[in-house]
Amino acid sequence: MVRVRPSDVPLLERRARALATGIAETVEEVEQLRFVAFRLRGRPCAVEAQAVERAVSRLGRVVAVPLADSGERLVAYVDELPLPVADLAECGGGARIPDVLALSPAIVLSVSEGRVAVVVEGPLDLREEALAERSTSHSASEDVDAPRVVARLAGGASLLDAEWLVAWAARKVRP
């Protein structure tokens, strides 16, 4: 038997009452947005769902491919296509080995050079939540590799700037 556990019971009840009374639900007081939630160094984080092309619950085999400059690039197959791999945990100063990355979830982002599998900590979750507060403190001198938080979600997760995440992923996989 499959059990479905609702994540926002009051919202579901409000929508059910609106449907039962025949009143079409209009725009709610607080706009609900879609996010892909994950963890970063144990902390709850999220990114706007529209920035994510695909979510992978377990990346699978990750191999190091030699580059012409005697470096290496990590690659994994997603949807039978080889994608470069970037580990978001590196933002905190800790790269993980390919065997650990293979067991981790990833979000696939489109960058100017193609697609990149960004490894995160799980579990991955698609959520619909309201923003609790927006962050306005960003300076031009910030560390470009430090995660840029643009808001806090009602559930407490930090919302990462999708543009920053795409730019970070592109930098990490550039040869």
Query: Does residue 28 belong to any structural domain of this protein?
Result: no
Counted domains in the chain: 1
Q: Please indicate, yes or no, if residue 85 is contained in any of the structural domains.
A: yes
pLDDT confidence of residue 161: 94
Question: How many CB atoms neighbour CB 126 within 10 A?
Answer: 13
Asked whether residue 11 is assigned to any structural domain, the reply reads no
- Give tens-digit pLDDT for 86-104: 999 887 667 778 888 899 9
Low-confidence ranges of the chain (pLDDT < 70): 1-8, 11-12, 15, 18-19, 21-31, 92-93, 136-143, 175
Query: Each residue of 136-148: pLDDT tens digit?
Result: 655 444 667 788 9
C-alpha dist (Å) from residue 82 to 61, 73, 104, 116: 11, 11, 17, 9
Contact by Cβ (8 Å): 170, 112 = yes
Structural domain including 80 reads: 50-173
Using alpha carbons, select from 149, 111, 118 the residue that is nearest to residue 133.
149
